[in-house]
Amino acid sequence: MSHFNEEQRMIQEMVSRLMRDKIVPLAKEADLSGHSSPEIVRLLSKNGLLKMALPEQYGGIGANYTTIALVVEEMARVDASTAMIFFVTQSLTQILKQWGSEEQKGRFFGEMSVGDKINAFSLTEPNYGSESASIQTRAILDGDHFIINGTKIFVTNADIADFILVFVRTGGGERQKGLSALVVEKDTPGLSLGKHEDKLGLRGSDLSELIFENAEVPRENLLGKLDQGFDILTSGGADMRAYGPGAMAVGLAQGALDYAVSYARQRVQFGGPIANLQAIRFMLADMSIQVEAARALLYRTTVLLDSSSEDKRMRDRFVSATKCFASDTAMRVTTDAVQILGGYGVMKDYPVERMMRDAKMIQIFDGTNQIQRVIVARSLLS
């Protein structure tokens, strides 16, 4: 896109080349295994991508929301699971930049500066997903430590994470009034991995359960102030819906469209390429229109986020609209791509069936699209 600066275009080209040359075969293997690929993580680290959002003094480039979204989109054109690992890692960095103390930034960013650290984000519980204000995992302050007890589920990167942002209940207040956010390190006493989820899509990124049994987390790992967790969740935690699943959906849709166009040009039926058939041409045209509309909304939103706009209602509306519209678009476009490939579309030898499964996941995770519509309507009507 023409409004990207030279540095962003260079990053885009580097990521595109890495995905094409190195990730394609690894992505298929990871999807079949249902686990994150250690080799993909190594390549992300080797190319400095895991520390992109870090401030320059810690070896990053201080990537803004637009740059992160650009990288996520480019990755998802080839493999949405790789984009998932990357964006969740960047999200904790972004939230730390916004909410962390200077001491926390120095400590955590110092460790992340090596460039090999993976981050995770933990909110959902067995009984609470969309109703995030009612989570029950509890942290009690005992001297210099919080003692955490509870279970978290559907934690992306949990199996491989070095740092996990965990939302817990610390106060006596009900719902959002008693929530706090803690940065939990992987070797924390009392923290263990539970069930590894065998899921429909995004199978190349780990999704697991976390179990806290009297887990001890230092008091200095509290992000922001006590009982300020819901503010962190609805600002930095909400923003990630745009540069994460929103950008993943746009990239996924573009990748499916690219593959369908290439296939339609080569597949011969009725005496010529199926690209000559009006039915196929109209499908491809609609797919392209939808992708471009989703991309325009995505970067309209990230520019708004990068402007540090204080209009929270507008931010909420655009972020949720992006996540919702882009992932609905990805679902339509990937489904049409499968249809254009016909019998080959449902075979695992071709990437479009994986893309369709990944698109369905994006409609659901990080707040279902029904919840996003609730947020958009509330912003309009409040």
Residues 264-275: tens digit of each pLDDT: 999 999 999 999
Listed in sequence order, the residues at least 6 apart from 257 whose beta carbon sits closer than 8 Å to its beta carbon are 284, 287, 288, 291, 333, 337
Of the chain, the end-to-end C-alpha distance in Å amounts to 34
Q: Where are the beta strands (DSSP E) in the chain?
A: 119-122, 138-142, 145-156, 163-169, 179-185, 191-196, 207-218, 222-223, 268-269, 272-273
pLDDT digit string (tens) for 342-381? 999 999 999 999 999 999 999 999 899 999 999 999 999 9
Same domain? For 197 and 157 the reply is yes
- The answer on 362 and 252 residing in a single domain is yes
Could you say which of 201, 227, 253 is where a domain stops? 227
In 3D, which of 130, 139, 133 has the Cα closest to residue 183?
139
Helical axes 312-341 vs 247-266, angle rounded to 10°:
20
The pLDDT of residue 62 is above 80: yes
211-253: per-residue pLDDT in tens? 999 999 999 999 999 999 999 998 887 889 999 999 999 999 9
Task: Assess if residue 35 is contained within a domain.
Answer: yes
Predicted TM-score (pTM) of the model is 0.94
Q: Are residues 160 and 277 in the same domain?
A: no
The type of residue at 219 is R
Rounded-to-integer distance, Cα 129 and Cα 127, Å: 7
| Same-domain check for residues 201 and 240 | no
CATH code of the domain covering residue 332: 1.20.140.10
- The pLDDT tens digits for 165-224 are 999 999 766 777 889 999 999 999 999 999 999 999 999 999 999 999 999 999 999 999
Q: Is the pLDDT of residue 50 over 90?
A: yes
pLDDT at residue 2 greater than cutoff 60: no
- Structural domains of the chain, count: 3
pLDDT in tens, 77-91: 999 999 999 999 999
Residue 202 CB neighbour total at 10 angstroms: 27
Q: Look up residue 246 and give its amino acid.
A: G
Pick the last residue of a domain from 182, 197, 227.
227
Neighbours of 289 (CB within 10 A): 11
Statement to judge: residues 152 and 186 lie in one domain: yes
What CATH number does residue 216 fall under?
A: 2.40.110.10
pLDDT confidence of residue 267: 96
* Comparison of pLDDT for 309 and 322, the residue scoring more: 322
In this predicted structure, the answer to whether residue 1 has a pLDDT above a threshold of 60 is: no
The answer to whether residues 159 and 254 belong to one domain is: no
Q: Does 1 map to a domain?
A: no
Determine the structural domain holding residue 212 and report its residue range: 119-227
Tally of residues, the chain:
382
Mean pLDDT, the chain, integer: 94
Same domain membership, residue 236 and residue 302: yes
Q: Examine the domain organization and report whether 342 and 236 are in the same domain.
A: yes
Q: What pLDDT sits at residue 23?
A: 97
196: left (phi over 0), alpha (psi -120 to 50) or beta: beta
Rounded distance, CA 275 to CA 281, Å? 6
Residues 299, 368: one domain?
A: yes
Residue 184 lies in a domain: yes
Q: What is the pLDDT of residues 111-142, one digit of tens each?
A: 999 999 999 999 999 988 777 778 899 999 99
Give yes or no: residues 375 and 335 share one domain.
yes
Does residue 191 sit in the same domain as residue 280? Answer: no
Indicate the residue among 97, 112, 127 that finishes a domain: 112
One domain for residues 213 and 155? yes
> What pLDDT shows up at residue 130?
76
Q: So what's the pLDDT on residue 3? A: 77
In a domain, 276, yes or no: yes
